[in-house]
Structure 1
Amino acid sequence: MKGSLELFIALRHIRKRKRQTLLSVGAIAIAVMILVVSNAFMAGFTDLLYESTVNDLPHVTVTPQDGEEYIHLYRNTVGDIAAIDGVTATSVSLEREVILQSENNIESAMMKGVIQRDEEAVFHPSGDLIEGDFNRLASTANGVVIGDDLAEELEVKSGDTVDAFFPEAGISSLKVVGIYDTRTPIDSVLVYTDLKMTQEFYGTTDVINKISVRLDDFNMDAEVAEKVDALGYNAAGWTETNPEILQTIAIEGTSNRIILGFILLIASFGVVSSLNMTVMEKTKEIGILKAMGTSIQQIRMIFLIESGILGLLGAAAGTILGVGLALSIGSYEVPGELYQFDAIPVLIRYSDIALTIAIVFALNLVAGIYPAQKAAKMDPVDAISTV
Structure 2
Amino acid sequence: MTSYLKLAAKNILRHRTRSLLTMLGIAASVGVLFAVLSFNKGFTEGLAVELERTGLHFMIVPSGCAHEVAALVLHGAVIPKFLDTGVMEHVEGTAGIDLATPILVAQLPDQQRGKIDLIYGIEMNVLEAIKPGWEITGTIPRHEHEVLLGYEVAQHDNLQPGDHFSSPAAGVDLIVAGIVGYSGSQDDAFVYLPIQTAQNLLGYPQSATAIGVKVDDPTRIGAITESLTSTVPGIQIVTMGEVMNSVSNLAAAARALSLAIVLIAILISAVGVMNSILMAVFERTQEIGMMRAVGASRWDIFRIILNETTILALVGGVVGIVLSTLGARLIEAFVRSVMPFVPSGDLIRFDPIVALGSVAFIFVIGLCAGIYPAVKASKINPVEAIKG
TM range (shorter): 0.5 to 0.7
Q: Report the TM-score when normalising by structure 1.
A: 0.60
Given the superposition, is the C-alpha separation of residues 244 and 342 from structure 1 closer, same or farther in structure 2, using an over 3 Å criterion? closer
Output the CA distance in 2 between the equivalents of 1:315 and 1:23: 13
1:240-260, Cα deviation, whole Å (9 max, x unpaired): 145431113322322222222
2:246 is equivalent to residue 237 of structure 1: no
- In 2 relative to 1, CA 178–318 (structure 1 residues): closer, same or farther, beyond 3 Å? closer
Cα distance, 1:125–1:34 mapped onto 2, change above 3 Å? closer
Distance in 2 separating the partners of 1:360 and 1:369: 14
Match of 2:102 in 1: 95
Among 348, 351, 355, the alignment partner of 1:349 is: 351
What is the identity percentage for the equivalent residue pairs of Structure 1 and Structure 2? 24
1:35-54 alignment to 2 at 5 Å?
A: 35-36=33-34, 53-54=50-51
Give the TM-score taking structure 2 as reference length. Answer: 0.60
Distance 1:179 1:63 in 2: 28
Correspondence for 1:301: 303
Is contact 2:34-2:324 (8 Å) kept? yes
Distance, in Å, in 2 between the alignment partners of 1:111 and 1:324 is 41
Structure 1 position 97, deviation (Å): 8.3
Count how many residue pairs are aligned between Structure 1 and Structure 2: 307
What is the distance in 1 between the residues matched to 2:225 and 2:259?
43
Match status 1:70 vs 2:90: yes
Contact 1:146–1:180, Cα closer than 8 Å, also in 2: yes
Secondary structure at 1:211's aligned position in 2? strand
Deviations 1:357-384 (A, max 9, x none): 2122221111111211222233344333
CA contact (8 A) 2:309 2:366 kept: yes
Mapped to 2, the partners of 1:191 and 1:275 lie a distance apart of 70
Identify the residue that residue 120 of structure 1 maps to in structure 2: 128
- Counterparts of 2:212 and 2:29 in 1: how far apart (Å)? 50
Corresponding residue number in structure 1 for 2:21: 23
Match of 2:262 in 1: 260
- Residues 330 and 241 (structure 1 numbering): CA distance in 2 closer, same or farther, change over 3 Å? closer
Look up the match of 1:82: none
| CA positional deviation for 1:14 | 1.9
Name the structure 2 match of 1:382. 384
Q: 1:275 aligns with which of 268, 274, 277?
A: 277
Q: Deviations over 1:139-183 (max 9, x none)?
A: x4x67758899x855354424xxxxxxxxxxxxxxxx96798985
Q: How much is the aligned-residue C-alpha RMSD, in angstroms?
A: 4.9
CA contact (8 A) 1:144 1:177 kept: yes
- Give the 3-state SS of the residue equivalent to 1:348 in structure 2: coil
Give the SS at the match of 1:70: helix
Distance 1:247 1:348 in 2: 25
Range with greater deviation from structure 2 (245-254 or 362-371): 245-254
Q: Which amino acid aligns with 1:368?
A: G
| 1:304–1:327 CA distance, 2 compared to 1 (3 A) | same
Q: Kindly name which structure, 1 or 2, has the bigger radius of gyration based on alpha carbons.
A: 1
